[in-house]
Amino acid sequence: MSIKKELLVYNSLTRKKEVFKPINEGFIGMYVCGPTVYSDVHLGNVRTFVGFDIIYRFLCYLGYNVRYVRNITDVGHLLDDGEDRMSKGAKAENLEPMEVAQKYTNGFHAMMSIFNAKKPSIEPRATGHILEQIEMVQAIIDNGFGYEVNGSVYFDTLKFAHERKTYGKLSGRVIDELMAESRSDLKNQSDKKHPSDFAIWMKASDDHLMKWNSPWSVGFPGWHLECSVMSTKYLGKHFDIHGGGNDLKFPHHENEIAQNEGACNCSPSNYWLHTNMLLMNGKKMSKSDGNTITPEALMSGDSPHVSQGYDPMVIRFFMLQTHYASTLDISDDALKAAEKGYKRLMQANQVLNKLETTATGNGEDAEVLQLIEATLTDMCDDFNAPKALSRLFELVPKINSYKEGHLDVNQLSKSTLDALKALFHEFIFDVFGLKDISTGGSESAHIVNGLMELITDLRQDARANKDWGTSDKIRDKLTSLDIQLKDGKDGTSWLIN
RNA sequence: GGUCGCGUGGCCGAGCGGUUAGGCAGAGGUCUGCAAAACCUUGUACAGCGGUUCGAAUCCGCUCGCGACCUCCA
């Protein structure tokens, strides 16, 4: 196995861009914090997981054998009032907690599929790893970093911070400040030795729905614990990449590191990657002030925030235009622009696939090869998809010019043209994970293609006879069906708008 | 209040010390039966004020504005 190129990644842990070196040559273990399945997925989830999907796809493209683990959190994630998210959902909908988890897990999977995100290699659930979580709690206690109070077990952050000097490293927190700022009215605060200590096992109240037997109480695991346990179980104590949304840095990831170190005496992951938040019209998405839109509404157009619906591939393209670590500001104008750009790219790819050359080239070769190389280099620079995409767009006018005859395609050697075709195919579909919605590829698409060929032939005959009435009638009718005809030098192509 | 990040042409968005980003929109042109599409040409932008430097959107400081986290969050 050979890796195509050296990769740079921005590591949240060191706050620097670093050369990526896997622990085992050719292999990568990557853990990404998945959703808590207590309600419908929202757009922010989509942004995050599409972001990591592109990272995963690109690592595979580079030639790495990647084990991608993304969990489903279905227990232990508490609300402000101390109620478990799953339990709250269950009571509200009169369902078993596991029904709630299954319902929203299904919804999450469906949405990931709509956005063409690849499935992870392993998708473990927190409730499927209660035993392992209990074992890790015990290991943390045995190592002196956990203490039990009234059936609950807490992580001793103060002791850990003093002995290891790593607590707060990821998020830039200082434990003394946490102490000063922590409010005293938070749940079970009185049981903790220190305000920043967090529960790794919680004793359940009588009416709590999800609970398990343990050495300390009938209870349930803390929220941060499942990720420590499942990453360790499937990727080992020490693996390559850990990812998640920016908002998980603190406390979730910070506590995760503490648990891993507390239990296994080593830092879990070499590189920490964080995707940034999704904004709408420059502001945080928030249900309370109405500044929010569901993925469904964005696709259907059924929202005051958009003038029309957008295809998930257009939304994915839109996301590609912003670096994963930058905030993504969604707006109707930006989506409209993305829709046009997306179509232009897909059209260019179709045109490219029909180009042929017989010559041995030169003239055009150097420039095209240089752009091909630059695309790869940009993507290797911390997965800079927007920049890599811009390289593709630099090639689009060239491709169109070859077709139109403004540039001579025979100035391109066959090997360069093949490399160009490969670049477009691999980046658009394999790495960026886009789909060409104009071609479909289904049975009906095949029929449509045949019909359109017949119609454009008939119109071509009419035009040859200067029968403008007939040719315009055909064009106008197709236009009303949102089918656009494009008359070129060597025939007419069409596009469904 | 604390921590971190951001502010780029009409809109979106790369760049991170010297070279054209790119997309969308706009203008002029080529092509075309007309139109669309496509192609060509065209924009000299980096919140403000100082400083460092031969040279700054890019480094430093201050000011203003925005956002995230600090409490559940992708």
Q: Strand B within 7 Å of which CB atoms in A 368-427?
A: 381, 384, 386-387, 389-390, 393-394, 396-398, 400-401, 403-404, 406
Rounded Cα distance between A379 and A372, Å, is 11
> CA(A232)–C1'(B71) in Å?
28
- Predicted confidence at residue A82, as pLDDT, reads 57
CB A44 within 8 A of CB A245: yes
- Predicted confidence at residue A184, as pLDDT, reads 43
pLDDT one-digit tens code per residue, A480-491:
888 888 887 767
What percent of chain A has pLDDT above 90?
A: 57
**With 80 as the cut, is the pLDDT of residue A393 above it?**
yes
Burial A14-53 (b: 16+ CB within 10 A, else e): eeeeeebebeeeeebbbbbbbbbbbeebbbbbbbbbbbbb
First to last CA, chain A: 43
Q: Which of A32 and A442 is assigned the larger pLDDT?
A: A32
Which pTM value belongs to this model? 0.92
- Predicted confidence at residue A67, as pLDDT, reads 98
Confidence bin at A177 (pLDDT 50/70/90): low
pLDDT one-digit tens code per residue, A3-31:
889 999 999 988 888 999 999 999 999 99
ipTM of predicted assembly, 2 dp: 0.93
Confidence bin at A151 (pLDDT 50/70/90): very high
Q: Which of A411, A415, A403 is nearest to A355 (CA)?
A: A403
- Predicted confidence at residue A491, as pLDDT, reads 73
Nucleotide nearest to A186 (CA to C1'): B71
- Predicted confidence at residue A335, as pLDDT, reads 93
**With 80 as the cut, is the pLDDT of residue A469 above it?**
yes
- Give the lowest-confidence range in A87-101, A184-198, A240-254, A317-331: A184-198
For the CA atoms of A246, A251, A253, A259, what is the dihedral angle to 10 degrees?
180
Nucleotide nearest to A283 (CA to C1'): B67
Nucleotide nearest to A325 (CA to C1'): B5
Residue A148 exposure: Cα atoms within 13 Å on the Cβ side: 13
- Predicted confidence at residue A189, as pLDDT, reads 61
Nucleotide nearest to A78 (CA to C1'): B72
> CA(A3)–C1'(B43) in Å?
42
Cis amide linkage into residue A251, ω under 30° from 0: yes
Nucleotide nearest to A382 (CA to C1'): B14
pLDDT one-digit tens code per residue, A296-346:
999 999 988 898 999 999 999 999 999 999 999 899 999 999 999 999 999
pLDDT one-digit tens code per residue, A125-149:
999 999 999 999 999 999 999 999 9
A446 touches strand B (CB under 7 A): no
What sign does the dihedral A291-A293-A298-A304 (CA atoms) show?
negative
pLDDT one-digit tens code per residue, A415-458:
999 999 999 999 999 999 999 887 655 567 777 878 888 888 88
pLDDT one-digit tens code per residue, A347-371:
999 999 989 988 877 778 888 999 9
pLDDT one-digit tens code per residue, A80-94:
455 667 667 677 777
Query: Long-range contacts for A188-197 (Cβ within 8 Å, ≥24 apart)?
Result: A188/A82, A188/A152, A191/A149, A191/A150, A191/A152, A191/A154, A192/A149, A192/A154, A193/A147, A193/A154, A193/A156, A193/A158, A194/A156, A194/A157, A194/A158, A196/A157, A196/A158, A197/A154, A197/A155, A197/A156, A197/A157, A197/A158
pLDDT one-digit tens code per residue, A103-116:
999 999 999 999 99
Confidence bin at A285 (pLDDT 50/70/90): confident
> Please, what is the average pLDDT of chain A?
88
Q: Strand B within 7 Å of which CB atoms in A 135-154?
A: none
- Predicted confidence at residue A201, as pLDDT, reads 94
**With 80 as the cut, is the pLDDT of residue A281 above it?**
no
Strand B nucleotides, any atom under 7 Å from protein beta carbons: they are 1-5, 10-15, 21-25, 31-40, 66-74
Rounded Cα distance between A413 and A156, Å, is 66
